[in-house]
Amino acid sequence: MVKEVKSTILIVEDTEMNIDILIEALGDDYLVRVAMDGESALKNIASYIPDLILLDIMMPGMDGYEVLRRLKKDAKTSKIPVIFITAMSGKHDEAKGLALGAIDYITKPFNPELVKARVANHLMLKNYQDNLEMIIEERTRELRMTQDVIIHSMGVLAEYRDPETGGHIKRTQNYVRALALQVENHVRFKELLDPEIIQVLYKCAPLHDIGKVAISDNILLKPGKLTGEEFEEMKKHSVYGRDVIMLCEKEIPGTSFLKYACEIAYTHHEKWDGSGYPQGLMGDGIPLSGRLMAIADVYDALISKRVYKPPFPHSKAVTIIKDGRGKHFDPDMVDAFLEIEGKFRQIALQFADFEEERKMLLET
């Protein structure tokens, strides 16, 4: 049989008679601790956080108002319910205490039954709030897991159309995160990136080619160079990807991860000099997410084996991206890429699809 754990009440009161009354009223139902001044109360709380505090206002040294102010400033103690106990019964005093964050106000002399009822009610409310927070955290965690699974599944769906690119999802999302972390504090990007956004970009990156599900097999899987007409159809995958994600976004508006997923799918083939597709955007007119994805996608295409080409060595891929600085790619992002190109190679090696690719990556 599980033994019920009693809640802990801290009484902060400088009059022994009042302490005795409160212990008599509460001692059978709760674990009661006592501090006789504000300084002792704060030391007591620092070593063991109670479930509820009964706090006198008028005490020698630090008064109850100051004790409550300090409790509210500390994240560890800010949520402890505090009931003021005092002989000060004026409306102004009560309003001041409640404004500071007290949850209730009991005036002296005490009615023991009233004290017991107030304490029981507020502990019940605290337990409800604590449980509610736990439920919300668990639901949030479940939603995030569901979101991750959906994103990954949609990305895998696109990759199933092209069986030679199984590791492409893992590689590109890790490239995006590595590059975003490298430019996070750059003067041009620090207002646009933070750890939460970088994590969203990492999760959304697998959807960059989701539009390929709408491209016919004779084009998508063609073992050779595409004709001009075929290439124009292939280019539409960025539009198809945007449209698919926008349909999802309409069902759950205001969802930030879909906003970034839409940007990535639609703009990762835009080029810094305006020669990309589908919109011909230029420079900073290309969303940051699209510029990050552009470098990740091109690097991976270069070092990967395809039906129409062998894998390129890492060094050749780096040279091609360097040559695209200010033309295909954001110049500052290329500079950041060159600083961490070794990380890109490590990611590529970790998630390589073929031994041929791994050998080429190890070439110096």
Same domain as 180, residue 59 = no
Instruction: Return the pLDDT at 2.
Output: 45
Q: What is the mean pLDDT of residues 250-270?
A: 83
> Residue 112, preceding bond cis, omega within 30 degrees?
no
Residue 287 lies in a domain: yes
Residue 178 lies in a domain: yes
Same domain as 172, residue 53 = no
Which pTM was predicted? 0.65
Same domain as 305, residue 213 = yes
Residues 43, 68 contacting (CB under 8 angstroms): no
pLDDT in tens, 329-350: 999 999 999 999 999 999 999 9
| 214: CATH | 1.10.3210.10
* Helix pair 288-303, 355-362: axis angle to 10 deg: 100
Burial track 83-93 (b if 16+ CB lie within 10 A, e otherwise): bbbbebeeeeb
Same domain as 165, residue 116 = no
Same domain as 118, residue 223 = no
| Distance, first Cα to last Cα, the chain | 67
Number of domains in the chain: 2
Separation of CA 178 from chain center: 17
Residue 139 lies in a domain: no
Residue 160 predicted with pLDDT over 70? no
Separation of CA 131 from chain center: 22
pLDDT in tens, 98-145: 788 888 888 888 888 989 999 999 998 888 888 887 888 887 777 777
Domain enclosing residue 222, as ranges? 161-362
Same domain as 184, residue 97 = no
pLDDT in tens, 39-90: 999 999 999 999 999 999 888 889 999 999 999 999 899 989 999 988 766 6
| 46: CATH | 3.40.50.2300
Residue 57 lies in a domain: yes
Residue 156 lies in a domain: no
Average pLDDT of the chain is 88
Helix (H, G, I), strand (E, B) or coil at 314: helix
d(CA 321, CA 341): 10
Same domain as 345, residue 225 = yes
Closest by alpha carbon to 335, among 346, 347, 348, 324?
Answer: 324
Q: 134, 150, 179: which is the final residue of a domain?
A: 134
d(CA 243, CA 148): 20
Dihedral class, residue 280 (left if φ above 0, else alpha if ψ from -120 to 50, else beta): left
Same domain as 257, residue 121 = no
Same domain as 115, residue 225 = no
Closest by alpha carbon to 101, among 79, 124, 74?
Answer: 79
d(CA 336, CA 322): 11
φ, ψ at 10 (rounded to 5°): -105, 120
Q: What is the mean pLDDT of residues 265-292?
A: 97
Same domain as 185, residue 128 = no
d(CA 58, CA 81): 19
Q: What is the mean pLDDT of residues 256-270?
A: 91
Residue 146 lies in a domain: no
- List all residues 6 or more positions away from 72 whose beta carbon is below 8 Å from its beta carbon: 78, 100, 101
Same domain as 130, residue 165 = no
Residues 119, 83 contacting (CB under 8 angstroms): yes
Same domain as 336, residue 217 = yes
d(CA 101, CA 334): 52
Residue 144 lies in a domain: no
Instruction: Return the pLDDT at 83.
Output: 92
With the C-alpha atoms ordered 297, 285, 281, 338, is the resulting torsion angle positive or negative? negative
Residues 119, 85 contacting (CB under 8 angstroms): no
Closest by alpha carbon to 264, among 202, 218, 219, 307?
Answer: 202
Instruction: Return the pLDDT at 309.
Output: 84
